[in-house]
Each structure stands twice: as C-alpha cells, then as structure tokens.
Chains A and B, each alone.
Chain A
C-alpha cells in the first residue's frame, strides 16, 4: 500500500502528515464506525462467533472499503450528482461479488460459514457512508487513509468481540489456516468430571450486542466528551 500512497500524495504533503494521521486514528477511537456511529452492527453480531470468520470478514470489508473509496474518489468529478448513490452501490456491489467469488475459490470452508454475510457487505452502512461523506469530496490519497482507518476501526471491534465470544463460548481460538485450537484441557469440562462448562449464550447473537455494549461503555467512560446528554 505504502508505495501507492506515496505516489498519489506527492510533494506538498508528507505521507504521515497530521491530517493523514488524524484520518487513520479517529475511526479507531473517537469516531469508531461501530461503537460511536453504531453502523455495521448487523454483521458485527452475526459473524463474531469465531475469530477466523471475523478476520476474513474484516479483510473483505477493508478491501471493499479501500477499493470503493479509491474508485469513487477518482471518479468524483465525473459522477453525475443525480445518480451518485446508484453509482456508489454498483461499485460496492461489484467489489463485493469479486470478494465472494475469490473466497469461494480459495477459502471454500470459510466462505460457507460466512454464507450470506459476505453478500451483505453491500448493505454495510459504513462503506456507503464513507463513500458519500468522504470519498466523493476528497482526493484518492486521503480517501485511502480514510478507508484504512474506518476499515481498521471496524476490524478491531470485530476481532475483540469474536475473541471474547470464542474463548468463553467455545473454549477455543481459531485463525485462518490453523483451524480451531482448543486450549482448555478436556478434563476441566463437566462432561468429563471437571468444573467448567462453555457458555452457550456467548455463541448466540444477543451476547455480541452485550460485548459491543461493554466496549462502548469502556470507551465512553474514558472519554467524557463522547457522553451525550
């Protein structure tokens, strides 16, 4: 990525100028798309049962996000105002279909688990929101930073939620290519005479909401400015 960026944002502005750093940093914290703007919640609830699904989902969203932002930003002076939402939708939809096809070809098992949720990236408000609010009015360089920032902002919440849910729900942790690693000894479980039981509630969607809620709580208690009246 870095070579591309330096080619796009030449001379006048350094790669890690204050403005660009702000674009990257804000969505990770104080304007996080999930915890502050409460966008893209649907997929955050659905695919955070296992870490590996969350990783693949985050990468897919990041790809669509960067691709969409760059394309819209490059075309920003050409897109007719009256059909701009349709154009954005077509761009997002085609990128998502490409991601879906690639996953089907190279990661069939994960593609099966993510099932409809890859297709639903199209309706992820974060992406549409960034295209409309940022890329349409900014140069490709800053748009890339904005996309990476928001994509990572989405990703870290997804990863955090899925790590919590997988550890407490399945007593395991999984990464793409490594499969699920169960780290709790079998004799701990009640079924084999121990004291421990996986919390099945963690696997169900409501707990994702609770975990996201806890992240929001921590975040707001650390930064008074975020608290609304």
Chain B
C-alpha cells in the first residue's frame, strides 16, 4: 500500500482527523473531571474565606468547619439591599446560594454593577461578627482575587487573603503570601473613596494604607483597585446597617 505522505490532500486529511480525535479526547477528559475540580474549587474558597478570618483549615475539613464559623451568607444588589440570605452547609448545586456567586466571572463579564449581585459572608469568631467580602480584579498577567474581612465596626480590617492565577513568581505572586496580607490587619477604611491605598516605594504608610510589593507594582495596584471598587458597593449595605442600628 503506498500512501503519498507529501500530497497536500493527505496532509489536510491527516490534520482534520487528528484535530477531531484530539478534540474529542480533551473534551471528554475535561467534562468527566469537571465535578471533582468544581468541588476542589469550592473547598479552596471555603479555606480562603476562613483564612481571611484567621482560621486555618484544610481542604478536607473545610466542609465541616465552614458552617461552624460562617453563620450567614448574604447576596446584595448594587445599592446594598439584601437579596437573599442562607446559612448552614453549602449546596454547590443551589444557584440561589450566595456561596455560588462567581465574583471572578462577574468581573470578567464587565457587566454594570446594577446587573450583578454581591456575596457577603458574616462569620462569628469569639463572639464578634466579622464581615468577609470577596474581591476580584486584574493583576499584570491575569486575574487576581481574594477576601477582605472587616471587624464588626465595618471599618477596621480584620484580615485579608489574596490569590492569583499567573503573576510573576517572586514578584507579583507574593500577594499570596502571608507577609503581604498580614499587613492589612488592623488597618482602617477611609469614609470616602479611595477607601484604602497600596503605596509604592516603601513610603510612610498610615492607618489607611499598606506598602505594595517591590517589583510587583501593577499587581499591587490591581489589589488596591479591586479592594476599593468592591468596598464602595458594600459600604452602602454597611451604612444602612449602621443607620438602622442607630435609630
């Protein structure tokens, strides 16, 4: 049997068949592993939320630890009104559960805030209410995200946790490390925008700012941007809570 391996027609035919086979194989792999990967992502999200509140847990224990500390999950609209509230353990298939709101996807979709809803986690630790706000934005190479926890005065930062997809190792990627996120502890938000600043070049930081990462300027700016943008929406909710408690 003689095939002319160099004929143009054969080359095209070979490419088409190859692409079909490879495409099918990859689609099958991706689809069949999706449920496991989704579960891992949900576990990771729980670990990160608890991490922002200073509770260390593992992926395995996340599912049981999470409902213990997070007593309420809210979703808010862009004016700070509560749309939905749940508590207890997380059901990954319940679309109305605020836990399943994907803030990263919402950020990517570039929809106006009026079309989105915003999740808020209210945790209880040592008798105090701690508000955990998910944030999402852009670094230098790709998405960055994280959680910012506020004390019950809704103004002092209790803790923070950031993560990234592909920032430069050793530079921007260090937003993930504790040395950076620990600097946020005890800092306070300003009353109006900008609520919080990431400073460049180790300049004196005050109670409303932290020092950015040397060599990771754009990532640091991204962290500042996402924190400010997100907090501006949650401020409306916090103000309404504070007002109603004063009356």
> Are A90 and B18 within 8 A (Cβ)?
yes
> CB distance A83 to B22 under 8 Å?
no
A85 within 8 A of B: no
Q: Encode contact with A along B3-37: 1 for CB under 8 Å, 0 otherwise.
A: 10110001100110011001001100110010011
Cβ-defined partner of A105 (8 Å) among B19, B22, B40: B40
- Interface on chain B toward A: helix, strand, loop, or mixed SS? helix
Instruction: Say whether, besides A80-B11, A82-B6, A87-B18, A108 and B26 are in contact (CB < 8 Å).
Output: no
Complex CA distance for A128 and B5, rounded to whole angstroms: 21
Q: Is the CB of B40 within 8 A of A98?
A: no
A101 contacts B30, CB within 8 Å?
yes
User: Which A-chain residue is minimally distant from B21 (CB atoms)?
Assistant: A94
Q: How large is the interface on B (under 10, 10 to 19, 20 to 34, 35 or more residues)?
A: 20 to 34
Q: Are A98 and B26 in contact (CB under 8 A)?
A: yes
Contacts of A183 in B (CB 8 A): none
Let me know if A195 is at the binding interface, CB within 8 A. Answer: no
Q: Assuming the A-B contacts A94-B22, A104-B37, A105-B36, are A83 and B59 also in contact, with contact meaning beta carbons closer than 8 angstroms in the complex? A: no
Q: Please, which residues of chain B bring their CB within 8 A of the CB of A78?
A: 3, 5, 14
B26's partner among A46, A81, A94 (CB-CB below 8 A) is A94
Q: What chain A residues lie within 8 Å of B5 (beta carbons)?
A: 78-81
A102 in contact (CB, < 8 A): yes
Whether B229 sits at the interface, judged by CB under 8 Å, is no
CB nearest neighbor in A for B13: A80
Q: Name the A residues within 8 Å of B3 (CB-CB).
A: 78
Contact A98 B14 (CB under 8 A): no
**Band of interface residues on A:** 20 to 34
- In the complex the two chains form, is A104's CB within 8 Å of B33's CB? yes
B44 at the interface (CB under 8 A from A): yes
Instruction: Classify the secondary structure of A's interface with B.
Output: helix
Are the C-beta atoms of A97 and B26 separated by less than 8 Å?
Answer: yes
Residues in A with CB closer than 8 Å to B88 are none
Q: If the complex has contacts A81-B6, A108-B59, A115-B166, are A101 and B29 also in contact, measured as CB distance less than 8 A?
A: yes
Q: What is the CB-to-nearest-CB distance from B210 to chain A, in angstroms, rounded to a whole number?
A: 24
Complex alpha-carbon distance, A81 and B11, angstroms: 9
Residues of chain B in range 29-66 having any CB-CB distance to chain A below 8 Å: 29-30, 33, 36-37, 40, 43-44, 59
Q: Which residues of A contact B59 (CB under 8 A)?
A: 108-109
Docked complex Cα distance between A105 and B41 (Å): 10
Task: Say whether B29 contacts A80, CB under 8 Å.
Answer: no
With A82-B11, A83-B14, A98-B26 known, 9 other A-B pairs at CB within 8 A are A78-B5, A83-B15, A86-B15, A101-B29, A101-B30, A105-B40, A108-B37, A108-B40, A115-B169
Query: A interface vs B, CB < 8 Å?
Result: 46, 78-83, 86-87, 90-91, 94, 97-98, 101-102, 104-106, 108-109, 115-116
**What are 11 pairs between A and B in contact, CB < 8 Å?**
A78-B5, A79-B5, A82-B6, A86-B15, A87-B14, A98-B25, A101-B30, A104-B37, A106-B36, A108-B43, A109-B59
